[in-house]
Structure formats: C-alpha cells, structure tokens
Amino acid sequence: MAEVFMSCYDRIMRKKPLIETNPYLLDPEKFRKDLITSVSSSTAIETGARVETIARTLAKEPRIMPVKTRQGSGR
C-alpha cells in the first residue's frame, strides 16, 4: 500500500529545486545575510569564538579558492 501512495505522490508533486520555491532564498542579499548569521552562530558554539567576529570575517568579500577533488577511493 505504501508503494502505491509513494508512486502517486511522486507523480503529483513537481520537482523543483528549493532555491526556486522557498521565498526566503529568492532574495540573494537576504539569503547571504541569513546564511552568515546561521554559520556564525553555529561556528561560535563549536569554537567558542564570538559570533560578531565570525560574522565580520564571513561578510568580507569571498576569496576564490580552488576546489580539491579526489581521484578514486579515499583509502
């Protein structure tokens, strides 16, 4: 019975990315500000640093850093 419901549910729901459907993510400036607030508070809890200091650091112009990718297994 659950399989029937799930296949029906998948057909009814349109598949759109959250960035297109969540009104809080549509404004890039507000999104960045809220993201900095969220990351700052989480990081402060983990590291013991002040939220304001972390937020100030994150609010600076982002530096472009190369993404490191692994080839094959990480073992």
Segments in 1-75 forming alpha helices (H): 2-12, 18-21, 28-47, 51-59
pLDDT at 63: 67
3-class secondary structure, 55: helix
> Tens digit of pLDDT for each residue in 23-71?
888 888 888 899 999 999 999 999 999 999 999 999 986 666 666 666 6
